[in-house]
Structure 1
């Protein structure tokens, strides 16, 4: 089983390399290094040899009809159809066995401190594998079960390199597109932490030019390059504490604030099962609803979360947040009046 599992994972890594627009035409050696680093965390060739990659490329052509070609001009491999990916090819029974093996392995570590943050993701993988097995026996099951899917917005191809840079404490260079102006500017940073929020990946880093900790969205990065320049991470940065008072990805140099609001009976039930923040607690219950309190940074993500409940939440504290909510609700009302 481990042999089957490793083969499947190597195929997925090779597929990802062949589809990476920022590192086109990977050579056999580059594919081997990517597979060995992805599976074993090393690059010395002690676990995977070039002949293994040759067999993988042949197998991918046979099993997935992968349109893999070799470019003599660029001395590397590529997909003749740039839209092709083996992720769109249905898994066979051997693939499913390998995925079941991996899913069951992950399940054993779900409650370990290191993996606790990913508990929901692990549950989702195990559920998906279990249902895939049943769906293979009862194809019509696919008509009854649908999983939530996220639209890929890019940036995921940078994750391995950024993780390596964090582990090695080296500087990275990339071009970054401003969300509002659409201008692209070069950046040089010391990577500190990778964080996922609502199916988007972000890099928390110490910007060596701006001289401060800055967050960058991976989908807006271009031309990422790892350097060999060693950098010293800020001694004050603590990954555990950095987002302690955050709702979402935003942080603040100001102190966190006590946010208090009343939620209607229906909204309260949602908030009890899906809290806005880990500090959320019930203060009291009244005839008008339940009063909640949390200690957080007042951020755009918090404001949008509150507004998503419409008129079912009334903010009491702090006054500045209550005023901001009122202002935005007023703008919404004016927008609708303008259309009449």
Structure 2
């Protein structure tokens, strides 16, 4: 059974590689490397050989009618039907058994250090597998609704960026501004990939700007890996960098002590889902609860506080109070 499960996993990896418009016409060697890295964390050919990939592609053609073709012009493989995807094919019993096997295996390790940050995602997979014996049962959607994140582009850059981080190599890309919708070329040393509210961000040292900058992956275009090794060491510790941050925005300045009061109903929600790890209760009154935390003043902080409307009032610092008052005044003007 493990052999069959690995084959099914390889089919999915090959399918994604053939549909990757940012790296079209993968060679047999590239497909083997993609499978080996995803399944074994290496690309040296010790676990998967080229003949295995040949057999996989033949099986995909025979079992799933995959329109795999070879292009002599581009020296690589492709789908003759660009709309084809294994994701559109209903799962068979072997697929379902493989998913159950993987889900149950993951659930055994979700509390292990390297998997703890993925515990919630693992639980969601296990919940879906365990909620019904028939994963293809469409009627489940009428009775159980899982939270579905809005998909955004950019996830195709995760693997090449991660490879560049590991190797300390420079990457190039065009970055589109939210305000002007214009794209500018960037040359950066990738340092960290970070997910926030179902969007991926790249923390990197911008070689031109000479500073650590955050770029959203969904606004990155034409990413190019290079063989250039960045020689100057960059001091970057993610835990320290985000220690006082809320969301994706960090600062080179000093964190502020933020004191705010919340109605007791809102306080229960805020206590169960804190704005920040440093948050603590300093006073519990009859009608209000006072909280304190040490954070950077950021857009994410302001929006989080405003999401509670009049149920939360900032007491300190005065600068944050002023920012929020200005926002409230603008909201009132817009509704008049």
**Stretch moving more, 68-77 or 153-162:** 68-77
Counterpart in the other structure of 1:191:
190
Counterpart in the other structure of 1:38:
38
**Once superposed, what is the RMSD of the aligned Cα atoms?**
1.9
Counterpart in the other structure of 1:87:
87
- Quote how far apart the aligned CAs of 1:153 are: 1.1
Conserved 8 A contact 1:248-1:301: yes
Deviation digits for residues 104-126 of structure 1 (CA, Å, limit 9, x no counterpart): 22222222222222221221122
- Quote how far apart the aligned CAs of 1:266 are: 2.4
Secondary structure of the residue aligned to 1:334 is helix
Deviation digits for residues 36-83 of structure 1 (CA, Å, limit 9, x no counterpart): 122222223222122222222233234444333333333322233333
CA distance in 1, matches of 2:302, 2:216: 20
Secondary structure of the residue aligned to 1:205 is strand
CA distance in 2, matches of 1:105, 1:209: 45
**Stretch moving more, 272-281 or 39-48:** 39-48
Calculate the TM-score normalised by the size of structure 2: 0.93
Secondary structure of the residue aligned to 1:133 is coil
**Stretch moving more, 244-253 or 274-283:** 274-283
Deviation digits for residues 171-229 of structure 1 (CA, Å, limit 9, x no counterpart): 11222212211221221111111100011111111111211111111111122222222
Conserved 8 A contact 2:257-2:293: yes
CA distance in 2, matches of 1:263, 1:233: 47
Deviation digits for residues 225-244 of structure 1 (CA, Å, limit 9, x no counterpart): 22222224645311221111
- Quote how far apart the aligned CAs of 1:103 are: 1.8
Counterpart in the other structure of 1:119:
119
Distance 1:76 1:44, change over 3 A: same
CA distance in 2, matches of 1:229, 1:135: 46
Distance 1:111 1:233, change over 3 A: farther
Distance 1:44 1:313, change over 3 A: same
Distance 1:132 1:336, change over 3 A: same
Conserved 8 A contact 2:96-2:135: no
Conserved 8 A contact 1:206-1:234: no
Secondary structure of the residue aligned to 1:91 is coil
Counterpart in the other structure of 1:165:
164
Unaligned runs of 5+ in 1: none
Counterpart in the other structure of 1:326:
325
1:182 has 2:165 as partner = no
Deviation digits for residues 246-305 of structure 1 (CA, Å, limit 9, x no counterpart): 111000011111111111222122212211111111111112322111111111111111
Unaligned runs of 5+ in 2: none
**Stretch moving more, 126-135 or 305-314:** 126-135
Distance 1:89 1:318, change over 3 A: farther
Calculate the TM-score normalised by the size of structure 1: 0.92
Conserved 8 A contact 1:135-1:142: no
Counterpart in the other structure of 2:294:
295
Q: How does 1:129-148 map to 2 (within 5 A)?
A: 129-133=129-133, 140-148=139-147
Counterpart in the other structure of 2:150:
151
Count matched residues: 336
- Quote how far apart the aligned CAs of 1:146 are: 1.2
CA distance in 1, matches of 2:82, 2:287: 57
Q: How does 1:1-340 map to 2 (within 5 A)?
A: 1-133=1-133, 140-232=139-231, 234-337=233-336
Distance 1:51 1:280, change over 3 A: same
CA distance in 2, matches of 1:2, 1:111: 24
